[in-house]
Amino acid sequence: MAELSYAELRALVQPDRVHRRLYTDPVIFDLEMQRIFGTAWVFVGHDSQVANAGDFVKTQIGRDDFIMTRDKDGAIHLLANRCAHRGLALCAHEAGNARYFRCPYHGWTYRTDGTLASLPQRPSYPRDLRADEKAYELAQPPRVATYRGFVFASLAADGPSLDEYLNGITHSIDDLVDRAPDGEIALTGGRSRYLIRANWKLQIDNGVDLHHSTYTHVSTLDENGRQFARHGGGPRILIDGRKSIDWEPFGVVGFPFGHGYQGRPPVETLPSGPVYEAYVARLQARHGAMRTQQILKYDRFNSVIYPNITFQAFGQHIRLVRPISVDLTEINVFPVHLKGAPEELNRAAVRSLAATHSAASMIQTDDIEMFERAQIGLQSQQDDWVLFAGHEGSEQPWHEGGWRGLGTSEFVSRIQYAENWISYMTGGRGNDRLGVRADAV
Ligand code: FES
Ligand SMILES: [Fe+2]
C-alpha cells in the first residue's frame, strides 16, 4: 500500500483549510480506512436490530464486513464476515435469525458467538492446529461497547473508552432516546439506502454546517415553502413563516474527537391532536410534566458522531455514512422508532422521513447535489484548498463540555480536520482536547 510521510500528511491540513486530495486521492482514502476507521470508535448499529437470540445484521467498519449478532445467552458480538478457513464472506444476507453460520465452501460452521461448532475433516489438520480452538474462530474487534443501545466498535485494542470518546455528544443521544416513553428507541422501521458519488466526509462536513441551509434548501425555506406546500403533509421542517433566517444565535457546538451538533431555533408550534396528546401523556407518566416539557423542546438539528453517523431527534432518524471508495459513499437512513409512543406517531415519522431524507426526498436530494458537485469541483487543479475559516477563533467554552460557535461557524470541521483527522492519520488516537492542534499535543 502506498504510504505518505508524516510531513506529507501534515502539509495537507492547515488550521482553517484542507487540501483537496483529502476528498479525491485514493491513497488518502486507503489510509483513512486503516487509520481513522481502524482506530476510532465506529458506530456499527443499534442493539434493537438484534433484539432476540440468533438475530443478526450485516454491518461494516470502514471496508471490513462484520455480522452483528445476539448469541444464545443474550450477548452482542461483532463477527468478521470472513470464514476462518479460506476467507469467504460467510453471510450473504443483510439480516435475519440463525442458530449457526455455515460457510458454503467447505462447511465450516460457527455459532452466533463466533466460536466454531463443527469443522469437517478436522482430524486431517496438523495436531497443533487441531488443538488451537481460537485459530478457528471468527475474528472480532478487540473493543465493542454500547451507549443507550447505540453499538460502537474499535479495531484498536487501546485508546479512550467509549465514554471518554463520546463525552458531551451523549446529550444528543439522550435528547433522542428520552423522547421514547419507554426510554428506548428501536431501529426496526427499515432503512432508506442510497449511493452518492462523493467522498464520505462531505456528508460529515454537512452535518455541522448550518450555513448551507439558506442556500441549498431555498426551495424549502423560501417565503412560500414551495416544497412542503406541494408535499401536503408532514411538518414544515424549518421555521414557520420566516423569510430569511439568522442562524448565528442558534450556534454550533463541537466536542473533542470531532463530534458536534447544530443548534436550532425553537419550534413555534408543537403538533396537536389526539395522537400527539396521547404521546405527551405517556411521556408525562414516565417523566412528570416538567421534564416532559424539557424533552419536547428541540434545541438541535443534526448531531454528528465522528466519523460515521449523523442523527436528528427533530427528524427522528439516524444516518449512517458508509465509505466505499474515495468518490463513492453509501448512506443509510434509519427511522427511529420511539418505544412506547403511539404507533401512528412512529408511522408518521417514517412517512415524513421518506419526504425529507430518502433518495427521492425534498431536502436530502438538495444536499446530494451539493456533495456530487463538490466532488466534481475538487477534481480541478486550479485551486488546491478547501476552506473552513468561517468565524475563526470566536468559539467559546460551552457548559456541556466542548465549545460553542456562532451558527455559521465552521469550527467543528476545523476540529475534525486540524485536531482529529491529522491525529489519526499520523498514527494517533484522535484528540481529546479542544483548541490544541494535534501537532502541538
Ligand atoms: S472457505 Fe469457508 S469453509 Fe472453506
Ligand atoms: Fe442540508
pLDDT digits 0-9 by tens, 388-402: 999 998 899 998 889
Task: Based on the fold, state whether residues 77 and 215 are members of the same structural domain.
Answer: no
Residue 342, classed as helix, strand or coil, is coil
66-77 per-position pLDDT tens digit: 999 999 999 999
**Residue 267 pLDDT > 90:** no
Counting ligands in written order, the one closest to the CA of 205 is 2
The closest-lying atom of ligand 1 relative to the alpha carbon of residue 88 is 1
More confident call, 189 vs 130: 189
| Total domain count, the chain | 2
Question: How many angstroms separate the alpha carbon of residue 120 from the centre of ligand 1?
Answer: 10
Question: How many angstroms separate the alpha carbon of residue 163 from the centre of ligand 2?
Answer: 29
Task: Based on the fold, state whether residues 258 and 334 are members of the same structural domain.
Answer: yes
What cell numbers appear for 249 in the block? Answer: 444565535
The closest-lying atom of ligand 1 relative to the alpha carbon of residue 84 is 2
Q: In which band, very low, low, confident or very high, does the pLDDT at 233 lie, cut at 50, 70 and 90?
A: very low
What cell numbers appear for 342 in the block? Answer: 403511539
Task: Based on the fold, state whether residues 245 and 367 are members of the same structural domain.
Answer: yes
**CA distances to 198, 374, 382 from 377, in Å:** 11, 5, 10
Element (H, E) at 21: helix 21-24
Task: Based on the fold, state whether residues 125 and 203 are members of the same structural domain.
Answer: no
- Determine the pLDDT at residue 186: 98
- Determine which residue's CA is closest to atom 1 belonging to ligand 1: 86
355-413 per-position pLDDT tens digit: 889 888 888 999 999 999 999 999 999 999 999 999 998 899 998 889 999 999 999 99
Ligand 1 pocket: which of 83, 109, 122 to mutate (most atoms within 8 A of CB): 83
Task: Based on the fold, state whether residues 229 and 118 are members of the same structural domain.
Answer: no
Counting ligands in written order, the one closest to the CA of 82 is 1
- Determine the pLDDT at residue 162: 98
Question: How many angstroms separate the alpha carbon of residue 85 from the centre of ligand 1?
Answer: 5
Question: What Rg value do the Cα atoms of the chain yield, rounded?
Answer: 23
Asked whether residue 115 is assigned to any structural domain, the reply reads yes
First to last CA, the chain: 28
Question: Could you tell me the residue range of the domain that residue 228 belongs to?
Answer: 168-440
Task: Based on the fold, state whether residues 180 and 115 are members of the same structural domain.
Answer: no
Task: Based on the fold, state whether residues 141 and 187 are members of the same structural domain.
Answer: no
Question: How many angstroms separate the alpha carbon of residue 347 from the centre of ligand 1?
Answer: 43
CATH number at residue 263: 3.90.380.10
Task: Based on the fold, state whether residues 193 and 97 are members of the same structural domain.
Answer: no
Counting ligands in written order, the one closest to the CA of 370 is 2
Ligand 1 surroundings by CB, under 6 angstroms: 83, 85-86, 88, 103, 105-108
CATH number at residue 132: 2.102.10.10
Residues 6+ apart with CB under 8 A from 238: 213, 217, 220, 221, 245
- Determine the pLDDT at residue 238: 46
Task: Based on the fold, state whether residues 128 and 186 are members of the same structural domain.
Answer: no
Averaged confidence pLDDT in the chain: 91
**CA distances to 308, 323, 429 from 33, in Å:** 12, 8, 14
**Residue 130 pLDDT > 70:** no
What cell numbers appear for 63 in the block? Answer: 471496508
Task: Based on the fold, state whether residues 125 and 185 are members of the same structural domain.
Answer: no
The closest-lying atom of ligand 1 relative to the alpha carbon of residue 107 is 3
